[in-house]
Amino acid sequence: MTKTDFLEAVGEVGEDAVRECLEAAPRRGARWTRIVPAVAAACAAIVCGVLLWHSPFPSGQEGTDPREADGFVIRNGVLLAYEGEADRVTIPDGVTEIADGAFRENARAAQITAVRLGASVVKVGVNAFAGLSALEEIGIAEENGAFAERDGMLCTADGTLLLRYVGEGTEYAIPEGVLYIAAHAFQDAPLETVTFPDGLLLIGCYAFADCRSLARIDLPASVAQIDEGAFSGCGRAVDGSVPVDVILGRDAFSNVPFFLTMLAGTTSPLEAVVRGTVAPSEAIRLSDTAALLTQIGEILAFYGGEGTGEGSFAYGAIAEAPPLPEGAVLPEAVTMEDLSFTDRGWGKTGVYDMQITLPLGGAPTVSMVMEAYLYAPGAVLYWKDASFRIARVYFTEDAEAAAPAAAGWSVVFDEAGREGAGLWTGITFYHEDGRIVRCAHGWDSVTEYRLTFSPDGTRCAVEYDRGDAWCLGVQALNGDRFEVSRSDYVEYLNRYFGAYVPGALAWEDENTLRGQNENGAFSWDLREVYPTQLG
């Protein structure tokens, strides 16, 4: 049997009614190592038949013109598309069904944060909310009897379709009886553990995308289809299992460590990085060293006046490269033996800077320091294909000139032009263990810096006078990164949270700063986007 037409009078189709047909037919699925969109679409059609997510056009009415009002494209009670511009969308009265992909083509889909279902909505497609990557809320009218909130989820009244996870905590067991998980249902959830029920059949688009705390993903053998991007960005999932004959959508497991290992048949670079079994200094030697040396060669050619670096893999670093210090002598060629590597730590995402140092000749003694990162580790299966990309170049002189600061660190303030211009262009931090960290504010010309180190010395709050305003940033000294280091971001904070008052900083712990602005005291957890005004 290849096709089934259900009469309009049919009120319910049991799962067992089509199970034997699925089992008797030749397998049309692909192993998890392949992606077959056409077959995936066929499977989706069968699943929709089981759920009675039938054609939006009743028999004989396929030609009916859609009704368009306020951006809603509706035909026979089915919301086919939303083309409006609202960030919070209320489904109009009279809509009984939301079709798959109803929001996907909306130009502002990524800005829609809430969708409210009216009393008349009784059907929602598994991928009805595909494209709503910023969706935070799905509301349900009190009079609606088709959907409910239970067991930490918004779901259909019979519990078979999970629309949205609304629970709290770091662990969640999806209730038995859930057969389908809707698009974006768990996206960005801070869950560390999710238990999937036996009988689960389908996982919708981006359902678990960017659940960055998930450590493992164990799917039951019943899962037949996993749609586009369903687990993409679950970069901490180093353990898991996926049914061998499941149908996969595009990028269903993009950047998922254990899945890359499955494909490779050996530990993938991303898994090694996340587990911390390979240090950056070892990884850079295991990677494509020819590509690394080519980048360094292009940087040397740039400083030698033999090229612009345009088109180079390291062009970003070359475009912002500082001038060569006076008296420094470039080598004619570089081998891996000429370089020294300092581990900065992989951090939490596995793509943090690696410090590469190349001593230069001449006087005074100068070294070229290059910061590199493992490029797209979620796209490679083997170390030989992995590449480190040089992101920034700067020069350091003899570390003995550094002034002791705190927690094993010393600092050197760089003066513009090295000719007594009276402006500072950056800070270089030197640690007694050999690490060198360049302050992220090196592109600012400022008149004064103030440094405040965190208790364990992993962070340094950098207050700097730019001439027109005092600004605040944070320099991580252990490989972590914070958005607060961007100058334009600091300007935004000064503008909307009140001008920063210098000299009042104190660290509560390694991640929390307290300070003052023109509106009073504030507390800033660096893992959050914005500070909290305390009054």
H, E, C per residue of 26-80: CCCCCCCCCCCHHHHHHHHHHHHHHCCCCCCCCCCCCCCCCEEECCEEEECCEEE
Residue bearing tokens 């001038």: 323
Reported as a pLDDT band with limits 50, 70 and 90, residue 237 is very high
In this predicted structure, what is the pLDDT of residue 399? 58
Reported as a pLDDT band with limits 50, 70 and 90, residue 441 is low
Statement: residue 240 has pLDDT above 50: yes
Going by their DSSP bridges, the two strands 409-415 and 403-406 should be labelled as: antiparallel
Please state which of the ranges 143-147, 181-185, 213-217, 347-351 shows the lowest mean pLDDT.
Answer: 347-351
Reported as a pLDDT band with limits 50, 70 and 90, residue 68 is low
Phi then psi dihedrals of residue 390, to 5 deg: -75, 120
CATH number assigned to the domain covering 67-265: 3.80.10.10
Statement: residue 475 has pLDDT above 50: yes
DSSP characters over 342-364: E----TTTS---EEEEEEEBSSS
In angstroms, the CA 157 to CA 145 distance is 7
Statement: residue 99 has pLDDT above 90: yes
In this predicted structure, what is the pLDDT of residue 326? 78
Please state which of the ranges 34-48, 383-397, 400-414, 416-430 shows the lowest mean pLDDT.
Answer: 34-48
Please state which of the ranges 10-24, 242-256, 379-393, 500-514 shows the lowest mean pLDDT.
Answer: 10-24
Tally the C-alpha atoms within 13 A of residue 71's C-alpha that lie toward its C-beta. 17
Instruction: Give the residue from 421, 422, 424 showing the smallest Cα distance to 411.
Output: 424
What is the identity of the amino acid at 341?
A: F
Average pLDDT, the chain: 80
Reported as a pLDDT band with limits 50, 70 and 90, residue 180 is very high
In this predicted structure, what is the pLDDT of residue 257? 96
Q: What is the mean pLDDT of residues 43-63?
A: 37
Reported as a pLDDT band with limits 50, 70 and 90, residue 440 is low
Tokens matching residue 281: 């200094």
The answer to whether the beta carbons of residues 212 and 231 sit under 8 Å apart is no
In this predicted structure, what is the pLDDT of residue 447? 77
Beta-carbon contacts of residue 496 (< 8 Å; ≥ 6 apart): none
In this predicted structure, what is the pLDDT of residue 146? 94
In angstroms, the CA 214 to CA 208 distance is 9
Reported as a pLDDT band with limits 50, 70 and 90, residue 443 is low
In this predicted structure, what is the pLDDT of residue 402? 67
Q: What is the mean pLDDT of residues 287-299?
A: 93
Helix H or strand E encompassing 464: strand 459-465
Beta bridge partners of 500: 517
Q: Would you list the domain boundaries of the chain?
A: 67-265, 280-397, 399-533
DSSP characters over 266-297: S--HHHHHHHT-S-HHHHHHHS-HHHHHHHHH
In angstroms, the CA 263 to CA 31 distance is 11
Statement: residue 13 has pLDDT above 50: no
Tally the C-alpha atoms within 13 A of residue 490's C-alpha that lie toward its C-beta. 23
The answer to whether the beta carbons of residues 29 and 23 sit under 8 Å apart is no
Reported as a pLDDT band with limits 50, 70 and 90, residue 530 is confident
In this predicted structure, what is the pLDDT of residue 467? 75
Please state which of the ranges 50-64, 113-127, 343-357, 477-491 shows the lowest mean pLDDT.
Answer: 50-64
Reported as a pLDDT band with limits 50, 70 and 90, residue 488 is low
In this predicted structure, what is the pLDDT of residue 480? 73
Torsion of CA 265, 266, 269, 273, to 10 degrees: 130
Statement: residue 15 has pLDDT above 50: no
In angstroms, the CA 461 to CA 95 distance is 54
Counted residue by residue, the chain has a size of 535
Q: What is the mean pLDDT of residues 413-420?
A: 55
Residue bearing tokens 């009675």: 52
Helix, coil or strand: residue 386: coil
What is the identity of the amino acid at 247?
A: I
pTM of the model: 0.69
Q: What is the mean pLDDT of residues 220-237?
A: 96
Output the CA–CA distances (angstroms, integers) from residue 361 to 30, 324, 339, 365, 371, in the order listed.
59, 12, 14, 7, 20
Number of Cβ within 10 Å of residue 312's Cβ equals: 20
Please state which of the ranges 258-267, 468-477, 517-526 shows the lowest mean pLDDT.
Answer: 468-477
In this predicted structure, what is the pLDDT of residue 4? 41
Tokens matching residue 217: 């993903």
Sign of CA dihedral 306, 308, 312, 313: positive
Tally the C-alpha atoms within 13 A of residue 479's C-alpha that lie toward its C-beta. 19
In this predicted structure, what is the pLDDT of residue 308? 75
- Residue 426, Ramachandran bin (φ over 0: left; ψ between -120 and 50: alpha; else beta): left
Reported as a pLDDT band with limits 50, 70 and 90, residue 226 is very high
Please state which of the ranges 87-96, 102-111, 408-417 shows the lowest mean pLDDT.
Answer: 408-417
Output the CA–CA distances (angstroms, integers) from residue 55 to 7, 8, 161, in the order listed.
12, 11, 19
How does pLDDT run across 82-92, given as a tens digit for each residue?
A: 999 999 999 99
Highest mean pLDDT among 60-74, 205-219, 428-442, 448-462: 205-219
User: Of 440 and 196, which is predicted with more confidence?
Assistant: 196
In this predicted structure, what is the pLDDT of residue 444? 57
Statement: residue 418 has pLDDT above 90: no
Residue bearing tokens 């490029």: 375
Burial class (CB in 10 A: 0-12, 13-18, 19+), 261: buried
Reported as a pLDDT band with limits 50, 70 and 90, residue 43 is very low
In angstroms, the CA 152 to CA 486 distance is 38
Burial 144-182 (b: 16+ CB within 10 A, else e): bebbbeebbbbbbeebbbbbbbbeeeeebebeeebbbbb
**pLDDT above 70: percentage of residues in the chain:** 78
- Residue 421, Ramachandran bin (φ over 0: left; ψ between -120 and 50: alpha; else beta): alpha
Reported as a pLDDT band with limits 50, 70 and 90, residue 507 is very high
Statement: residue 206 has pLDDT above 60: yes
In this predicted structure, what is the pLDDT of residue 163? 93
Q: What is the mean pLDDT of residues 467-486?
A: 72
User: Of 503 and 435, which is predicted with more confidence?
Assistant: 503
Helix, coil or strand: residue 319: helix
Q: What is the mean pLDDT of residues 211-229?
A: 95
In this predicted structure, what is the pLDDT of residue 113? 92
Helix, coil or strand: residue 495: helix
The answer to whether the beta carbons of residues 510 and 526 sit under 8 Å apart is no
Highest mean pLDDT among 132-141, 249-258, 371-380, 469-478: 249-258
Statement: residue 101 has pLDDT above 50: yes
